[in-house]
Structure 1
Amino acid sequence: MATIDLVDIKKDYGNGLAVKGIDLNVADGEFIVLVGPSGCGKSTLLRMVAGLETVSGGTVSIGGKNVNKAEPAERDIAMVFQNYALYPHMTVRQNLEYGLKNRGVPRPEIDKRVKEAADILEIGQFLDRKPRQLSGGQRQRVAMGRAIVREPAAFLFDEPLSNLDAKLRVQMRVEIRRLQRRLKTTSLYVTHDQLEALTLADRLVVMNNGLVEQVGTPVEVYERPASLFVASFIGSPPMNLVPVAHFKGATGSLPAGTDIVGIRPEHLLLAAPAEEHAKLEATVELVEPAGGESHIHARLAGSDQVIVVLVQGRPQIAEGSTLMLHARHADFHPFNQESGKRTD
C-alpha cells in the first residue's frame, strides 16, 4: 500500500511556523496537487515528505510506516524537480541507470527498466545524448524517466513544469497525467499555477500561509470555494468578491453573516436572465480580447473596486460606457469578510 499520511505536520525555522499543523491522507494511486502562492509552505511540506527537510512536529508515514527519521533513500520515493537535476557529464542512458546501479540492481533488470521508461516517454532516440543536447521538454522527460525506473512507492513533483514555455507546459501536463494514470503510482505534486492544479489533480490541497484552506476535487473547489482566499485564488480570471451593499434589487435569502458575495466572471451577464437575479452598475475601463473570449474590466458605481466580466466573442462595448450587469442568485457564493469563510 503506497499511501502517504501526514498527521499534524509542522515546520519551524526559528522565526515562526512555516507549516502550521497539516493533516492529509493520500490514497494508494491517488494524484494530489498542493497549490498556493509562493511562500505558503507547499514545497516545504513536500520536502518533509521526501526527507529533504526535518519535521518539527507531527508524523509522516509512507505505506503505513513512520518515516520521520528515515533518510530520503530509505523512503521508497522518487522526486522530480523543476531544474531537472540531471548529471550533465552523463548520457541520458547513464542518467537513467545511475540510481539503479547504486542500488545493485542486476544489469538485465536495469536494461529492461530503462527500455520501458524510454518507450513510455518516447526518449529512446536520445539515450546516447548528453542533457545539453536536449530541449527543456526532453530534459524533463528524462527526469521523469529517472523517477519511473526506480519503480517507487510514490512520485513527488516540485513545480516540474515551471522552467518550460507555455506550449511545452501544456504538453508536459498532459503527459504527466497520462503517465500517472498508466502507472497508478501515488503522486504528490506542488505548483503555484492553479490551471495546472485544476487539470492534473484527483484532489486539490489549497494552501495559504502554512495552513490548508480547502481539500477537494477540482470541481468541488472551483464550484464551492470554502474561503475568500480560495475564491480569489482558484479560477482565471479569479472570482469577483463584491460587498452586498453594491447590489441593486433583491439579493435573495443570503445566509446570516454574509457581507461579501462572490460571482465568477463568467456568471456576470450583460442581459437580464429569466431567473431571479440582482444587478450591479459599473463603468467599463478596459475590454481585453483573450482569443475566443473577452474580459471586460469595469469599476463598480460609487467604488474603487474593479470587477471582471467574461463574455464569449468580441462585444461592441466602448470603454467609459456604463453597464448594468446581472447576477443570478443561484450563482452567488456567500462569505463573511471578518472570518473569511463561506456562510452557507
Structure 2
Amino acid sequence: MAGISLNNVRKTYAGGVSAVKGVSLDIEDGEFIVLVGPSGCGKSTLLRMVAGLETITDGEVTIGDRVVNKIEPADRDIAMVFQNYALYPHMSVYNNLAYGLKNRGIGKAEIDRRVREAARILEIADYLDRKPRALSGGQRQRVAMGRAIVREPAAFLFDEPLSNLDAKLRVQMRIEIKKLQKSLGTTSLYVTHDQLEAMTLADRLVVLNGGQVEQIGTPIDVYENPASTFVASFIGSPAMNLMEIERSGEGWALSRGEGLSLTCSLNETSAILGLRPEDLHIIEGDGAINDPLMLSVVVTAVEPVGAESYVHATLGETGQEIIVRAPGKQHFEVGSVLKVAAKKEKLHFFSSETGKAIALEGNLQPA
C-alpha cells in the first residue's frame, strides 16, 4: 500500500483545451478520497492520469515514493475498477479473476489462494464456475472488484463503478465498497458525479469544477462549511437555497424584498445568502421570533418523500424560489402562505462577485 500525491497536475488537449488546471492533492496511505463534480469537470481525466491512461501535460503524480509520470500503467502497482465491468464473457468467474495474475507469471497455488480469498471477501465463492452472462449486475460488479483485489495493489482507482446499477443495488454496493476498503486498508481514489455517493463513501471529498479544485475536506465539513456557491449548490439534496441580499440603511435586505437586520464587518454592497432547506423552520402562530431571518413564502408545490416533505415556495415580492424541508406528516396547501425562519448559526454568506464564502464579524439581529 502507498499514498498518492498530485503536484500541480495539468492536462491540456490539442487546440488549447484545458481539462485539468493545476490540481494538487496529497492522499494518505489507506485513505478513501472521492473526486466529485458535474460532467466535464475533469475528475475522470484526473483519475486516468493517475492510472497512466492519459499523459500528463505538466506537474507530477507520485505513488508511494515513485514519480510515475513516465511509468507504464501496468507497472504503477494500481488496480482499476471501471463503470462497465470489463469482464471476459467467454471466461468463468474464476478465470476472470485469475487472468491478470497468470499474465504476471504468478504461480498456480498463489493464484488459487488469492482468487478464493477475494471470492470469500466478496461473497461470490458459489459463482466461480459461472460465466458473466449468468450473473446479476451486482454480482458482475463484485467480480470486477475481485479482479482488482487479487492484484493486491498499492492503490485502487474507481471510475464511477456503480453508474450501471439500479438505485437499490447502488445503495447496497456503496455500503459493501466502504466496508471492503476499510477492511483491506488500501488507498483508494474514487470518481463519481453523485454527491450522495460521494458523501457516504469518502474520508475526504475533492469537489471539482471546470478542471479546478473548489474545496477539499471531510464530507460533513464540506456540507456545513461550503467554500463557494458552487459547492453549496452541488453538495446536498435538495441544494442550498441561495438568495441575493443588498445593503439597506444600517442593515441588509433581500434584493427587492423582505428585510434582515445585519450588523457586521462586510465591505461589499451586495452578497449572497445561503440557507439549507433543513435549516429553515416553519413558524406556527404569531409568537415572537428571535431569529435574525424570518420570511413569508407562498407554497407552489410539495414533494412528499416519506418521513419528510420538500416544500417548494416563492418569496412574496422577489419571486425567489426556495425549498423548505418539513416533517412528512405535515400537510401544506398550494397557494398557502407560510412563515419560515432561520437561526443565525445556520446562515451562510458568499461574495456576489467571486462566489467565495465570506467570513463575517459582528452580530446578527432580528429584523
Question: TM-score normalised to the size of structure 2?
Answer: 0.91
Which residue pairs with 1:147 in the alignment?
148
Which residue pairs with 2:248 in the alignment?
none
State percent identity of aligned pairs. Answer: 62
Question: In structure 1, how many angstroms separate the alpha carbons of the residues matched to 2:301 and 2:266?
Answer: 34
Which residue pairs with 2:356 in the alignment?
341
**Structure 1 residues 52 and 39, CA gap change in structure 2 (3 angstroms):** same
Q: Which moved more, 1:1-10 or 1:112-121?
A: 1-10
Contact 2:81 2:158 in 1 (8 A): yes
Uncovered stretches (5+) of structure 2, i.e. residues with no partner: 246-252, 360-367
How many residue pairs get matched?
Answer: 344
Q: Residue 263 in 1 paired to residue 289 in 2?
A: no
Alignment of 1:180-329 (within 5 A): 180-244=181-245, 245-246=253-254, 247-251=258-262, 253=264, 255-257=266-268, 259-271=271-283, 275-329=290-344
One-letter code aligned to 1:267: D
One-letter code aligned to 1:264: R
Uncovered stretches (5+) of structure 1, i.e. residues with no partner: none
Deviations 1:64-105 (A, max 9, x none): 211001111010000000100111111100000000000011
Structure index of larger Rg: 2
Question: In structure 2, how many angstroms separate the alpha carbons of the residues matched to 1:267 and 1:186?
Answer: 35
1:273 CA displacement: 8.3
1:253 CA displacement: 3.3
Secondary structure of 1:283's partner?
strand
Which residue pairs with 2:250 in the alignment?
none
Alignment of 1:166-177 (within 5 A): 166-177=167-178
Q: CA RMSD in A?
A: 1.3
Which residue pairs with 2:138 in the alignment?
137
Which residue pairs with 2:97 in the alignment?
96
Q: Which moved more, 1:266-275 or 1:140-149?
A: 266-275
Question: In structure 1, how many angstroms separate the alpha carbons of the residues matched to 2:259 and 2:334?
Answer: 22
One-letter code aligned to 2:150: V
Which residue pairs with 2:9 in the alignment?
9
One-letter code aligned to 2:6: L
Q: Which moved more, 1:329-338 or 1:153-162?
A: 329-338
Question: In structure 1, how many angstroms separate the alpha carbons of the residues matched to 2:150 and 2:53?
Answer: 21
Deviations 1:110-146 (A, max 9, x none): 0000010000000001100111110000000000000
Question: In structure 1, how many angstroms separate the alpha carbons of the residues matched to 2:230 and 2:32?
Answer: 23
One-letter code aligned to 2:112: D
Which residue pairs with 1:108 in the alignment?
109
Question: In structure 2, how many angstroms separate the alpha carbons of the residues matched to 1:334 and 1:45?
Answer: 31
Secondary structure of 2:259's partner?
coil
